[in-house]
Structure 1
Amino acid sequence: MGAEQSSAETSYTVAPLGPGTWPAFEALVQRHGGIFGGCWCIWFHPEAPEGGRSAEDNRARKKAYVERGEAHAALVMDGDEAVAWAEYGTPVELPGIHHRKEYEATVTVVPDYRITCVFVDKRHRRRGVTELAIRGALDQIARAGGGRVESYPHDLTDQTRKMSSSFLYNGTRRLYERLGFTYDRPKGLKNCVMVRTVDPA
Structure 2
Amino acid sequence: MGKAVKQSYTVRPLTPSRWADVEDLFGPEKGANSGCWCMWPRLTAKDFQAMGRDKRKKAFKSCVTAGPVPGLLLYEKGQAIGWVAVSPRAEVIRFEKAKTSALEPGKDPETHYAITCFYVRTGHRKRGLMTDLAKAAVDYAKKKKATAIDVCPIETDKPLMWGEGFVGVVSVFRELGFEEVARRSLRRPLMRLSFKNK
The TM-score, its normalising length taken from structure 2, stands at 0.85
Equivalent of residue 179 in structure 2, options 174, 178, 182: 182
What corresponds to 1:193 in structure 2?
A: 190
Equivalent of residue 75 in structure 1, options 59, 73, 76: 73
Change (3 A) 1:199 1:73: farther
The answer as to whether partners of 2:100 and 2:188 remain within 8 angstroms in 1 is: no
Number of residue pairs aligned between Structure 1 and Structure 2: 191
What corresponds to 1:4 in structure 2?
A: none
What corresponds to 1:162 in structure 2?
A: 159
Deviates more, 1:64-73 or 1:90-99: 90-99
What corresponds to 1:65 in structure 2?
A: 63
Equivalent of residue 39 in structure 2, options 38, 42, 49: 42
In percent, how many aligned pairs have the same letter?
23
Letter aligned with residue 190 of structure 2: V
User: Which whole-Å deviations, capped at 9, do the CAs of 1:121-163 have from their partners, x for residues lacking one?
Assistant: 121112121111111111111111131111000122xx2x221
- Give me the whole-angstrom Cα distance separating, in 2, the residues matched to 1:192 and 1:81: 33
Change (3 A) 1:177 1:109: farther
- Give me the whole-angstrom Cα distance separating, in 2, the residues matched to 1:177 and 1:31: 34
Large movers: runs of 4+ above 2 Å: 7-11, 46-50, 101-104, 106-111, 198-201
Equivalent of residue 13 in structure 1, options 6, 10, 14: 10
The answer as to whether partners of 1:99 and 1:188 remain within 8 angstroms in 2 is: no
- Give me the whole-angstrom Cα distance separating, in 1, the residues matched to 2:154 and 2:53: 26
What 5-or-longer segments of structure 2 have no aligned partner? none
Shift of 1:32: 8.0
Shift of 1:10: 4.2
The answer as to whether partners of 1:24 and 1:80 remain within 8 angstroms in 2 is: no
- Give me the whole-angstrom Cα distance separating, in 2, the residues matched to 1:123 and 1:131: 17
Q: Secondary structure at the match of 1:177?
A: helix
Shift of 1:175: 0.7
The answer to which structure has the higher helix fraction is: 2
Equivalent of residue 23 in structure 1, options 8, 13, 20: 20
Shift of 1:119: 1.3
Q: Secondary structure at the match of 2:38?
A: coil
The answer as to whether partners of 1:144 and 1:200 remain within 8 angstroms in 2 is: no
Letter aligned with residue 151 of structure 1: V
- Give me the whole-angstrom Cα distance separating, in 1, the residues matched to 2:25 and 2:172: 23
Letter aligned with residue 137 of structure 1: A
Q: Secondary structure at the match of 2:33?
A: coil
- Give me the whole-angstrom Cα distance separating, in 2, the residues matched to 1:103 and 1:10: 34
The answer as to whether partners of 2:14 and 2:71 remain within 8 angstroms in 1 is: yes
- Give me the whole-angstrom Cα distance separating, in 1, the residues matched to 2:51 and 2:5: 42
